[in-house]
């Protein structure tokens, strides 16, 4: 998926699809999945019958009020359409993403290898789990699999949107490949790990389309609550009819239906599915595939986050942080020699050493005739022989000491002290010498990624505890943990230690999230409530997790958690707004229904609505138009700010609770002022 996705809320294509979907979803078999809106649809059908047969239920003066029944029917129909439209828009955004993914889904040819060494050409759709295929440069990988032989660059832009190729090789945690990606160099021998129709790409398409979406537990619970409220209001309204008759008030069936629709939670009922689909859509647009809506919601409930140190909190390689001269050497000479050694050193350590030297003002350049010495496991050092015969080296301290001693030099008395000091800080010391003189030590350290301290502070504000896991010793772990600002750490951590830690946190009733990419991470990913696997990782890790990051960025779990919280806050806020709405609509309709027979109820007509009919229709119209007005908010989500749950609740009650009461009062009054003259023209 391209990072340059269309950021428009709704495109013409989505609009056309949503309008069509709104009518298709009118099918009662589909509407029954949403009990609240199904009640509205039934009400629409009954008022449609009353439009043709006004006296069907024994209403007095039914014929003269046929137009009123027609108006109520039309408004109810529009209400159902708007609710269906909201859901169709959410689905349309997902289907637009799926369409772009389907373009990468090609039935390509594959070179199938047999046990006897022979090779046959087959269609990718014919490949089964366990088959071995050969893919060379320029060919599309025919299916999900693991590299068992070879090393090559793979273009994954069709899946991730990243233009830069990534290296895939046999063994380790970077052996997994995805069907639909392209080999751009060399060759790979791949073992297929998925059966036809069950590839990662196909599952992605199904998920973003919404075809495999299942309601999450929270969504089911809220649906149950809304259904209960609907049943309660139906019982109240059914009993209202005989009570009104006893009081001498003849209530029309269409009025009772209007009252029902206005009092049941139609606003959240119409938006509930859209909110759930939009939540998964936001995660998907962030290049993360959630295997279920439950996983996204679980992100919003996370209490503890477990993160690997290397590659997540720190860069994957140790980088140069400082230069420490020894034996009375000048710091400038140390920096100069370190830079000369690193001019042709393409390792991360070498590049960072040269970059740091440049930042400190060094301007050393390659001299013509210089001979660069690459690092080797045997010598454990690298360097350069200058044209004038000067030998400059950097490497492990004991290797440099031996090199200097052979040239007749002496080891400075403070060298070992400085080396021990750097090691004690969790760093790696690289000793530098010029001929037979040791100049000093380069301090290589695990560098915390920029912005991590602020992000952990942000998580702390919302009550999430962060725990760093590392294989380093306790001293190194403590140094990095303090620098990064995590709440705790586990040093010398083994895979089983992660599982123990997750179980411990879960036993205390906490929801745990973690990231991983290796086969050794799979058990912990499966144990965690939220397991985010890297797309670059092994198949075992991706199958164990309930979320997959296409960009393979371990830090992304921090953003995913916030998206999950935003989903929960959005649903809670709009539910609060919907129920608060009903209070205002109650004050609009109830007094209007009984004012003529019971004038004392006029005190409740605080909006001073013109007539009973304009009051009822105004409330009904507001009930219909508020749904499309809230669609953008349901899609984008309520703006999330890191704060305690108590403050979030208070803020949302103020904005969506109080606002949900005030808005309908204002809206219904405005609509009443508009429609009253129109109703007067037709005799109401």
CA 468 to chain CA centroid, Å, is 21
CA dist 160 and 326 (Å) reads 49
Output phi, psi for 381, to 5 deg: -155, 165
Q: Are 110 and 119 in contact (CB under 8 A)?
A: no
The active-site residue out of 59, 69, 308, 345 is: 308
Q: What is the DSSP letter of 485?
A: T
Q: For residue 27, how many other CB atoms are within 10 A of its CB?
A: 11
Which residue in the block uniquely carries the two structure tokens 């619970």? 221
Distances (CA, A) of 77 to 270, 578, 607: 13, 19, 26
DSSP H or E stretch at residue 348: helix 348-359
Reading the block at residue 189, the tokens are: 């021998």
Active site residue 308: yes
CA dist 383 and 392 (Å) reads 5
Q: For residue 462, how many other CB atoms are within 10 A of its CB?
A: 18
**Pairing between β-strand 391-395 and β-strand 381-385 as defined by DSSP bridges:** antiparallel
CA dist 31 and 258 (Å) reads 19
Output phi, psi for 170, to 5 deg: -75, 145
Reading the block at residue 385, the tokens are: 């022989």
CA dist 72 and 84 (Å) reads 19
Reading the block at residue 575, the tokens are: 């539910």
Q: In what order do the strands lie in the sheet with 488-490?
A: 288-290, 547-549, 530-534, 512-516, 304-308, 465-469, 488-490
- Among candidates 84, 367, 25, 260, which has minimal Cα distance to 251? 260
DSSP H or E stretch at residue 155: strand 151-155
CA dist 421 and 414 (Å) reads 11
Q: For residue 118, how many other CB atoms are within 10 A of its CB?
A: 8
- Among candidates 318, 352, 317, 328, which has minimal Cα distance to 338? 352
Which residue in the block uniquely carries the two structure tokens 């031996």? 402
DSSP H or E stretch at residue 276: helix 266-285
Q: Are 318 and 349 in contact (CB under 8 A)?
A: yes
List Cβ<8 Å contacts ≥24 apart for 216-219: 216/276, 216/292, 216/293, 216/294, 216/296, 216/297, 217/294, 217/297, 218/297, 218/568, 218/571, 219/272, 219/276, 219/293, 219/297, 219/571
Which residue in the block uniquely carries the two structure tokens 């046999």? 170
Q: Are 432 and 334 in contact (CB under 8 A)?
A: yes
Q: Which residues contact 199 (CB under 8 A, 6 or more apart)?
A: 143, 144, 178, 179, 180
CA dist 102 and 94 (Å) reads 12
- Among candidates 159, 165, 158, 205, which has minimal Cα distance to 188? 165
Residue 683: helix, strand or coil by DSSP?
coil
DSSP 504-548: HHHHTT--EEEEE-SGGGHHHHHHSSEEEEETTS-HHHHHH-SEE
CA dist 348 and 414 (Å) reads 28
Q: Catalytic residues, which ones?
A: 308
């Amino acid at each position: 998926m391209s990072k340059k996705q269309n950021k428009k809320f709704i495109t013409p294509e989505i609009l056309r699809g949503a309008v069509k979907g709104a009518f298709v979803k009118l099918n009662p078999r589909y509407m029954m999945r949403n009990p609240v809106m199904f009640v509205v649809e039934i009400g629409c059908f009954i008022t449609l019958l009353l439009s043709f047969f006004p006296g069907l239920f024994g209403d007095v003066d039914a014929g003269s009020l046929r137009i009123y029944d027609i108006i109520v029917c039309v408004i109810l129909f529009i209400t159902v359409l708007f609710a269906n439209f909201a859901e169709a828009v959410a689905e349309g955004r997902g289907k637009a993403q799926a369409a772009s993914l389907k373009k990468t889904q090609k039935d390509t040819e594959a070179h199938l290898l047999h046990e006897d060494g022979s090779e046959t050409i087959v269609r990718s759709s014919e490949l089964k789990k366990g088959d071995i295929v050969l893919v060379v440069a320029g060919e599309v990988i025919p299916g999900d699999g693991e590299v068992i032989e070879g090393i090559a660059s793979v273009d994954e832009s069709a899946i991730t949107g990243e233009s830069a190729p990534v290296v895939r090789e046999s063994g380790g945690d970077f052996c997994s490949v995805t069907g639909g990606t392209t080999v751009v160099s060399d060759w790979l021998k791949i073992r297929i790990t998925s059966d036809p129709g069950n590839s990662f790409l196909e599952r992605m398409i199904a998920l973003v389309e919404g075809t495999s979406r299942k309601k999450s537990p929270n969504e089911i619970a809220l649906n149950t609550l809304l259904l209960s409220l609907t049943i309660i209001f139906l019982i109240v309204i059914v009993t209202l009819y005989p009570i009104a008759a006893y009081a001498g008030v003849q209530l029309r069936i269409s009025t009772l239906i209007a009252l029902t629709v206005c009092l049941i939670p139609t606003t959240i009922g119409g938006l509930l599915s859209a909110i759930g689909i939009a939540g998964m859509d936001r995660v998907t647009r962030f290049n993360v595939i959630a295997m279920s809506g439950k996983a996204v919601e679980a992100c919003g409930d996370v209490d503890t986050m477990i993160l690997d140190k290397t590659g997540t909190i720190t860069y994957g390689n140790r980088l140069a942080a400082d230069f420490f001269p020894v034996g009375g050497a000048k710091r400038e000479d140390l920096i100069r020699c370190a830079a000369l050694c690193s001019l042709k050193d393409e390792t991360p350590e070498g590049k960072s050493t040269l970059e740091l030297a440049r930042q400190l003002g060094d301007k050393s350049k390659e001299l013509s005739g210089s001979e660069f010495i690459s690092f080797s496991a045997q010598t454990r050092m690298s360097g350069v022989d200058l044209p004038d015969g000067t030998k400059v080296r950097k490497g492990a301290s004991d290797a440099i000491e031996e090199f200097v001693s052979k040239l007749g030099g002496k080891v400075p008395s403070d060298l070992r002290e400085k080396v021990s000091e750097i090691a004690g800080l969790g760093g790696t010391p690289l000793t530098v010498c010029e001929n037979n003189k040791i100049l000093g030590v380069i301090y290589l350290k695990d560098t915390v990624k920029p912005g991590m301290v602020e992000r952990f502070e942000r998580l702390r504000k919302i009550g999430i505890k962060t725990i760093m896991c590392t294989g380093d010793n306790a001293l190194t772990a403590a140094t990095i943990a303090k620098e990064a600002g995590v709440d705790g750490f586990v040093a010398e951590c083994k895979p089983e230690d992660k599982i123990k830690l997750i179980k411990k946190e879960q036993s205390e009733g906490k929801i745990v999230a973690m990231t991983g990419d290796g086969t050794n991470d799979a058990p912990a990913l499966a144990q965690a409530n939220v397991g985010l696997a890297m797309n670059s990782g092994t198949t075992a890790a991706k199958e164990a997790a309930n979320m997959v990051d296409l960009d393979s960025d371990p830090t992304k779990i921090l953003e995913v958690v916030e998206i999950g919280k935003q989903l929960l806050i959005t649903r809670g806020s709009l539910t609060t707004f919907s129920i608060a709405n009903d209070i205002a609509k109650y004050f609009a309709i109830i007094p209007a229904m009984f004012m003529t027979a019971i004038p004392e109820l006029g005190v409740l007509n605080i909006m001073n609505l013109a007539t009973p009919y304009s009051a009822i229709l105004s409330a009904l119209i507001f009930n219909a138009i508020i749904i499309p007005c809230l669609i953008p908010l349901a899609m984008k989500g309520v703006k999330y700010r890191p704060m305690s749950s108590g403050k979030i609740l208070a803020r949302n009650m103020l904005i969506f609770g109080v606002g949900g009461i005030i808005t309908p009062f204002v809206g219904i009054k405005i609509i009443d002022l508009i429609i009253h003259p129109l109703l007067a023209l037709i005799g109401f």
